[in-house]
Structure 1
Amino acid sequence: MPVSSTPPLHQLHAWQAATLLARRELSAVDLVRACLKRISEREPQVHAFVQLGADAALARARELDAGAVHGLLHGLPLGVKDLFDTFDLPTAYGSSIYAEQQPTVDAAAVALCREAGAVLLGKTVTTELANMYPGETRNPHNPQHTPGGSSSGSAAAVADGMLPLALGTQTAGSLIRPAAFCGVVGYKPSHNRVPKAGVKSLSETLDTVGGFGRSVRDVALLGAVLTGDARLADPTAFEQKAAPRIGWCQTPEWAQADADTQQAWAQAEKLLAGHGTPLVLPDSLTGLIAVQKAVQAFETARSLSHERLHHRHQLSTPLQALIADGMAISGETHALNLQVTASARQRAQALFDGCDVIIAPSSIGEAPAGLDGTGDPLFCRSWTLLGLPCVHLPFARGQNGLPVGLQLVGAYGEDHRLLAAAHWVHQRLTG
């Protein structure tokens, strides 16, 4: 793949850039400079970053260019959600409480990415303590619309060509929803497949580390590094000819999907005609949204006890309300909710007896207008509670010209099979 045949450097998919870097047909310095140039042009409009480490990134790129190929992410610029500790850049968790806080060590996920050769370009905007109160980031497709959250800056930066890859997290819908609103591929691994050490904790039961790219192969590279499972990035997995068995699951919340999501669904049915059968969730796996909300509220309220007790005046009104809701839930009720969660996770495996992957809505519709919220994670909550791996696939546009797509859901621990199937599906959805 000679450089002359590729798009502008800042538009390269991560897997394309990784191939060129490994062949020494592209330098890490040139790629980092191209991304920094794009950031300088677009950051005033998008506001994806809270910190840039340009000098350190260029220095690291020079080191990588001078040495042997370092790993799967060799020379690839990486954005890191400001919920992850980084030893060389401040980490504020999207809150004034932690302004200018400087960790002394990297979060485990960040360290793994650096070990694999990634070049940390900067910290991306998160909503306040990764909850619903928005940051400054705008949707790169239309600055009057939300980019989603809480991984707002990471999704927007990848969508706008500032970065090929970025890290994010999901507790309700904070990977899949911003991926949907910004029109990029978002990957939420199986729960607990990626270490969470050094990431600000909200909910041990739900928190999941994942990331964003421009293609399934991009997030597969990142996922292989984060999970330690080389099968995720096996090139032969993306050459499969056999169609995966798809279960088409509109979910019990389908009536709340707007015309754009319904149209995307119809378009996908046409493009994937003959592949798969309808899947209706059993009664035992309905009603999980209320459980997810309660688990998130209970665990978040207690995880943020220091902030609640000592910095309440620095918390937004919506976050204070969530904490109050969580503190009102008894430990006995939470224990019952955890039992429901564990039972549902066991039963969910049977969903894949007749299919390899499930296709489902990612969002209610396009990114909503306005910047005072981040949209509703309605169609993500149940899959997050179940701990299943998910991939958002962008392929359509809504009535306002903003991205729309669907998500693929896999069996727990079968992330490599999900990503291979997602690549097959995405190729057919995008032509």
Structure 2
Amino acid sequence: MTETADLTATEALAAIRAGRLTAATYAEACLDRIAAREPEINAFAWFDPAQARHAAAAARPGPLAGMPIGVKDVLETADLPTQHGSPAWSGYRPRSDAACVAAARAAGAFVMGKTVTTEFATRHPGPTANPANPAHTPGGSSSGSAAGVGAGFFPIAFGTQTAGSIVRPAAFCGVVGFKPSYGTLHRAGMKVMSESLDTIGVMARSLADCALAMSAMSGLDFGAPDAKVPRAPRLALVMGPSADQAAPETVALMERAAEACRRAGATVTPVTLPGVFAEAYAAHPYVMNMESAEALGWELAHARAQISEVLRERMDWGRAQPVSKLIDGRAAFAAARAAFPAAIEGFDAVLCPSAPGEAPKGLAWTGDPAFNTLWTLLHGPCVTVPAGRGPNGLPLGVQLAGRIGDDAAVLSWAAWVKAALG
């Protein structure tokens, strides 16, 4: 029997509507789980049980009524500190909520707490551990959000993605991670690092929860991923420009996933993308780091000693590059976006890895976003779904990606693939 704290938001809301559960009981179950596991997981950058209970009691009616959410600590909250994973912002109290947080509250959700992010959602990791095995990283930069969903602290959490910061940690923690089309959720009140890349998305324990949350916050229709589709999908199997970085467990996973989808009736065709995509992929570090160095102009000038050595090195590298690299990189991104619809013409979605392999051991490194950066810079939706375990017993995921605006379809095909995998 599923414990109350492990219910998805969709399941909890259905039980509340049917009178089998109350929102208060669900919140207390999550709080009990936090009390039991947070000392080991360290998912929160800021958490106050009394404040969470008060927020739960004050939650508004709406499609997310009474649902606890985790808010990544690069998104502003009016009633909780927002510290960006950096001592330079220690104790900072915004006056207002980020636009996405305001939208979640307006839909009836309440903020359980602020979740750990790597420093400015970039490199230097926080203390969060993987709930599947605390000796391993949960991934990053949305570390606390992924770990919190995986541990049963809240059913839905915000993540942000510049390279692979939603999809990779979700895969590592065995949950669903959804990066919508670029710009779907407004970035007002977010500590934006890369103007060309940063995208706000969600993590949850089901695809239906992702669709529910995104629909409730955006006013758009993200569909019903669990609804039966009229036919099997046509999938392009793409390993991409980082194919040689796939660990043996990922190579085996993609072969297994492709075969399972074919047995269930899908067409799965290996596709090699044209060179324009490799060029965009190669440009990603320049655009990301050069734009991030611009974003951290104040911190580099006035709080340099409070920035980690690894981030200072990357920002100094970004500042040292000629501006032509940024211009050319943005142009390479635009060229790849323009070429993408033709590259997957005739296919419903792309089937690809979520990460190179299992979550690395230790907490000093959050893993490589090699299988995420291309899909981020293309600005289309991508989602990871749990797909079994690797050789060390840690979660693995497979990723579905699609064209800009195909968000509902990608969620629906992801649900089909997840069912085919069993």
TM bracket, shorter-chain basis: over 0.9
Amino acid aligned to 2:347: C
| Structure 1 residues 180-230: Cα deviation after superposition (integer angstroms, max 9, x where no partner) | 11111000011111100001010110000001011111111122133321x
How far apart are the structure 2 equivalents of 1:419 and 1:196? 22
Does the aligned pair in 2 maintain the 1:238–1:424 contact within 8 Å? no
How far apart are the structure 2 equivalents of 1:418 and 1:49? 30
Q: Classify the secondary structure of the residue corresponding to 2:335.
A: helix
Which residue of structure 1 aligns with residue 44 of structure 2? Answer: 49
Which residue of structure 2 aligns with residue 232 of structure 1? Answer: 222
- Residue from 407, 416, 419 that aligns with 1:424: 416
How far apart are the structure 1 equivalents of 2:185 and 2:68? 20
Amino acid aligned to 1:15: T
- Residue from 14, 22, 25 that aligns with 2:17: 22
Displacement of 1:63 after TM fit?
4.1
Which residue of structure 1 aligns with residue 63 of structure 2? Answer: 72
Which residue of structure 2 aligns with residue 145 of structure 1? Answer: 136
Which residue of structure 2 aligns with residue 3 of structure 1? Answer: none
Cα-Cα RMSD = 1.5
Residues 76-225 of structure 1: pairs in structure 2 closer than 5 A: 76-225=67-216
Amino acid aligned to 1:49: F
Amino acid aligned to 2:326: H
- Residue from 254, 268, 279 that aligns with 1:265: 254
How far apart are the structure 2 equivalents of 1:174 and 1:114? 23
Does the aligned pair in 1 maintain the 2:276–2:335 contact within 8 Å? no
Does the aligned pair in 1 maintain the 2:44–2:113 contact within 8 Å? yes
Structure 2 unmatched runs, 5+: none
How far apart are the structure 1 equivalents of 2:199 and 2:372? 13
Greater Cα shift, 100-109 or 286-295: 286-295
How far apart are the structure 2 equivalents of 1:424 and 1:110? 30
Does the aligned pair in 2 maintain the 1:21–1:75 contact within 8 Å? no
TM-score, length basis structure 1? 0.94
Displacement of 1:380 after TM fit?
0.5
Which residue of structure 1 aligns with residue 5 of structure 2? Answer: 10
Mapped pair 1:408 → 2:400: yes
How far apart are the structure 1 equivalents of 2:16 and 2:298? 45
Mapped pair 1:376 → 2:368: yes
Does the aligned pair in 1 maintain the 2:107–2:217 contact within 8 Å? no
- Residue from 317, 327, 330 that aligns with 1:335: 327
Does the aligned pair in 1 maintain the 2:280–2:329 contact within 8 Å? no
How far apart are the structure 2 equivalents of 1:24 and 1:218? 20
How far apart are the structure 1 equivalents of 2:240 and 2:414? 19
TM-score, length basis structure 2? 0.96
Which residue of structure 1 aligns with residue 339 of structure 2? Answer: 347
Structure 1 unmatched runs, 5+: 1-5
How far apart are the structure 1 equivalents of 2:56 and 2:295? 37
- Residue from 290, 296, 299 that aligns with 1:298: 290
How far apart are the structure 2 equivalents of 1:279 and 1:100? 49
Does the aligned pair in 1 maintain the 2:223–2:412 contact within 8 Å? no
Displacement of 1:400 after TM fit?
0.5
- Residue from 345, 353, 360 that aligns with 1:361: 353
How far apart are the structure 1 equivalents of 2:181 and 2:396? 23
| Structure 1 residues 64-90: Cα deviation after superposition (integer angstroms, max 9, x where no partner) | 5xx8xx222111110000110000000
How far apart are the structure 1 equivalents of 2:295 and 2:166? 21
Which residue of structure 2 aligns with residue 394 of structure 1? Answer: 386
Amino acid aligned to 2:261: L
Amino acid aligned to 1:263: A
| Structure 1 residues 327-382: Cα deviation after superposition (integer angstroms, max 9, x where no partner) | 01222321122112112111112233210110011111000111111111011111
How far apart are the structure 2 equivalents of 1:246 and 1:152? 30
Does the aligned pair in 2 maintain the 1:29–1:62 contact within 8 Å? yes
Does the aligned pair in 1 maintain the 2:349–2:401 contact within 8 Å? yes
How far apart are the structure 1 equivalents of 2:237 and 2:333? 23
Greater Cα shift, 295-304 or 255-264: 255-264
How far apart are the structure 2 equivalents of 1:313 and 1:141? 35
Does the aligned pair in 1 maintain the 2:163–2:373 contact within 8 Å? yes
Does the aligned pair in 2 maintain the 1:53–1:89 contact within 8 Å? no
Amino acid aligned to 2:30: C
Amino acid aligned to 1:298: M
How far apart are the structure 2 equivalents of 1:38 and 1:318? 34
How far apart are the structure 2 equivalents of 1:115 and 1:20? 21
How far apart are the structure 1 equivalents of 2:333 and 2:280? 8
How far apart are the structure 2 equivalents of 1:380 and 1:295? 15
How far apart are the structure 2 equivalents of 1:355 and 1:222? 27
- Number of matched residues? 419
Does the aligned pair in 2 maintain the 1:22–1:74 contact within 8 Å? no
| Structure 1 residues 308-343: Cα deviation after superposition (integer angstroms, max 9, x where no partner) | 011111111110011011101222321122112112
Displacement of 1:54 after TM fit?
2.5
